[in-house]
Structure 1
Amino acid sequence: MDAKQTSRKASTGVDGLDDILSGGLAPGHVFLLEGNPGTGKTTMALSFLLAGARAGERGLYITLSETEQELRDGAASHGWEINGNIEVFEVAPPESLLDAGQQQSLLYASDLELGETVKRILEAFERVRPDRIVLDSLSEIRLLAQGSLRYRRQILMLRHYFARHGATVLLLDDLTSDAMDKTVHSLVHGVIRLEELAPAYGTERRRLRIGKYRGQSFRGGYHDFVIRKGGVTVFPRLVASEHRKPFTRQRMSSGIASLDALLGGGIEQGSSTLVLGPAGTGKSTFALQFLVAAVRRGEKAALFVFDEELGLLFDRTRALGFDLEAMREAGSLQIEQVDAAELSPGEFAHRVRQRVAHLGARTVLIDSLNGYQAAMPEENALILHIHELLQYLNRQGATTFLTVAQHGLVGDMRTPVDITYLADTVILLRYFEAMGNVRRAVSVIKKRTGHHETSIREFRFGDRGISLGEPLHDFQGVLRGVPIFTANAMLQATETMDDGH
């Protein structure tokens, strides 16, 4: 969309939502914002009016369900103040209906006649002459109408009235009176639906979907969003095909000659590498080797840790010669500990994009996908999210490393999520038994971007990091965990470990 077309849109004031709507809301039209109570409708509506006020437009918030004070208190919780170009009009019952002589203690908007309510709404509009209007909520009008035909006619009248005056209108519907009623959908210019999900564990998840937008392209599907102090932030669904950055593909060294030899010379920039193996085999350390090598070359990198506490990670890797804490303090390594129970997949993808697009990270490590899977409602969605994220990173020229812990220690291994077909390179780590000791072996089972060794090498960890031995040519069954070997072969393999770094 060109800048001229975007400038004609009315901004919603919600971070990320204008991007989904291709610039915002078309001025002079009526839009529906629907969702159950607590999904964020009022917060979004206030953001819409505040964005208009910043642009010099007058706003009017007509409330039939909340009091003016409740509305102002809600705005204050986000650090907002409603004044100046925004007026709040509370549709309250007439004073005569609150008189003690009427034998009624309190009446809400639903106790008023529909005609009286609409009359007050129009009077408020004529007095303020706003550019933007919020009507909260349609549930009250639906109850007053007491029938779908009368309700439809009333909404149609309001739509025509507001359209004649060129106002941009946001109708709120909390779906409490009739969640299945789609009467307004056919009358409005666009529909935004908000949803709240309650997982078995962790915080609630919120998402939205654009159900309709006449004459305008928009980003379809579900988009995660959060409500925090300061308003709503929407994380547009990542579409990798929309992001492509030209770069020169180069080969990245791990800093270990024997590991580079196993990989056919190293890892290509703009590719993805999956490090696979059971718990404790060193998946994180292998991936960190490439991350540290990139930082030592003067590049920036990003590390997302799902499973390990950062203090323990710093102490453990420092013993291997990796001072991650110093790299972070120098600004060359961005480290974020991710709580899967508190983070939606959309927000995680957004954070990764920020590290790459705004902070210039060219190497990204996600450790591990087991933790990432915990943030997903189902595995099928996980595969789609990972696919788009990897495609995006590849097209930005970022080299991505991912780890997956398999179930089991030796023999038959089970993978909780199989993404080997998505990754460009797959590094397989295994335990195996030799002379009464548990040893570790590494092999490369896939590399799309070039040749690689088909051999299996033993490796160890020391104060200088990873040490790889010569290929275990005389061994059979290493990947099964119980190899067949000769004494001479074992002696040869042990001797080569001393100078394999």
Structure 2
Amino acid sequence: MKAETGIEGLDELIGGGLPQGRVYLLNGSPGSGKTTFGMQYLIHGVSFGDAGLYVTLMQNSEHIIADISTYSLNLSALMKMKKIFFADLGPEMEYGYMDELKEVINPESNMNPYPVEGEPPSASTVFKEIAAHVAVNDIKRVVVDPLSSIRFSNQDKCLEKMEMARFLRNLQALGCTTLLIDDQPIPVSVSSEHFAADGVILFHNPASDDEDRSLQIIKMRGVPHPVSRQAFRFGEKGIEVLGRR
């Protein structure tokens, strides 16, 4: 079974959509279209009866909603119908709190000077939030944005790789079709997520004003696909893939 993305011109390139129940990585620099892609994917799923969950780990969910509402996608209506959900797990601490806390903590003590609410969410925390929504709201499609917030929660590189692999395997076990948004520029080296994910799509910003934005399907397990860059634009309903340029 395939989960149609709803991205005009893309589903035809991947045999009708993403194989269901798997995890996919969207990789690219800021402003390259990843968030719009993710929201279009969730919203399109509603037409198939798939409830969607957008997990934001950095940007305020209200800002995402406002930005996506500029497209003709009826996001507000779908939220009221409880078809699209947001889980905002980003930092909430206001400036000044850390300074006040440091003044009352003895530097010689063994107390952790960083409060729990100031720490980035762990992979385990994010997974539990997703699993709870899946159980309560029958979620079928998930977007996690950005993956780097989870990656940077662990300072040990070996443990980071193990935890990320574990995170992806647990997401796959949920049975949802999940998109993980990575806000790093095109990676210099291949990360553990690239190996573990069932598909990888790279987003490219134009190098000059006369070039188009483009996306590139690097990996899609079990699906024949082109590897060349596919130009796209932002239309009335979001991303529209124009084809090879």
Q: 1:116 to 1:203 in 2, by over 3 A?
A: same
Higher RCO (CA-CA < 8 Å; seq separation 6+): 2
- Distance in 2, matches of 1:101 and 1:136, equals 26
- The Cα of 1:113 is off from its aligned counterpart by 5.1
> Does residue 220 of structure 2 align to residue 213 of structure 1?
yes
Select 1:33's aligned residue among 11, 26, 36.
26
- Can you list the C-alpha shifts for 1:381-409, whole angstroms capped at 9, x where unaligned? xxxxxxxxxxxxxxxxxxxxxxxxxxxxx
CA contact (8 A) 1:143 1:177 kept: no
Task: Find the structure with the greater CA-based Rg.
Answer: 1
- Can you list the C-alpha shifts for 1:418-453, whole angstroms capped at 9, x where unaligned? xxxxxxxxxxxxxxxxxxxxxxxxxxxxxxxxxxxx
Alignment of 1:162-201 (within 5 A): 162-175=171-184, 180-199=189-208
Alignment of 1:329-368 (within 5 A): 346=245
- Distance in 1, matches of 2:145 and 2:118, equals 13
- Can you list the C-alpha shifts for 1:353-376, whole angstroms capped at 9, x where unaligned? xxxxxxxxxxxxxxxxxxxxxxxx
Corresponding residue for residue 65 of structure 1 = 58
- The Cα of 1:227 is off from its aligned counterpart by 1.7
Corresponding residue for residue 127 of structure 1 = 136
TM-score normalised by L of structure 1: 0.41
- The Cα of 1:219 is off from its aligned counterpart by 2.3
- The Cα of 1:42 is off from its aligned counterpart by 0.4
- Distance in 1, matches of 2:116 and 2:236, equals 30
Alignment of 1:236-385 (within 5 A): 236-237=243-244, 346=245
- The Cα of 1:178 is off from its aligned counterpart by 6.7
- Can you list the C-alpha shifts for 1:193-240, whole angstroms capped at 9, x where unaligned? 1101222xx345211111111122112311111123320010233xxx
The residue type equivalent to 1:198 in the other structure is A
Q: Taking every aligned residue pair, what percent have the same amino acid on both sides? A: 28
- Distance in 2, matches of 1:156 and 1:109, equals 25
CA contact (8 A) 1:14 1:44 kept: yes
CA contact (8 A) 1:65 1:109 kept: no
The residue type equivalent to 1:87 in the other structure is F
- Can you list the C-alpha shifts for 1:152-180, whole angstroms capped at 9, x where unaligned? 22232222222223110001001169753
TM-score normalised by L of structure 2: 0.81
- Can you list the C-alpha shifts for 1:290-312, whole angstroms capped at 9, x where unaligned? xxxxxxxxxxxxxxxxxxxxxxx
Q: 1:28 to 1:111 in 2, by over 3 A?
A: same
**Structure 1: 5+ residue runs without aligned partners?**
1-7, 238-345, 347-501
Corresponding residue for residue 110 of structure 2 = none
Select 1:229's aligned residue among 213, 222, 236.
236
Corresponding residue for residue 88 of structure 1 = 86
Corresponding residue for residue 71 of structure 2 = 78
Count matched residues.
225
- The Cα of 1:182 is off from its aligned counterpart by 2.1
CA contact (8 A) 2:38 2:179 kept: yes
- SS of alignment partner, residue 55 of structure 1: coil
Select 2:40's aligned residue among 23, 47, 63.
47
- Distance in 1, matches of 2:165 and 2:15, equals 26
- Can you list the C-alpha shifts for 1:234-271, whole angstroms capped at 9, x where unaligned? 0233xxxxxxxxxxxxxxxxxxxxxxxxxxxxxxxxxx
- Distance in 2, matches of 1:86 and 1:98, equals 28
- Distance in 1, matches of 2:68 and 2:116, equals 22
Q: 1:42 to 1:110 in 2, by over 3 A?
A: farther
The residue type equivalent to 2:86 in the other structure is V
CA contact (8 A) 2:134 2:140 kept: no
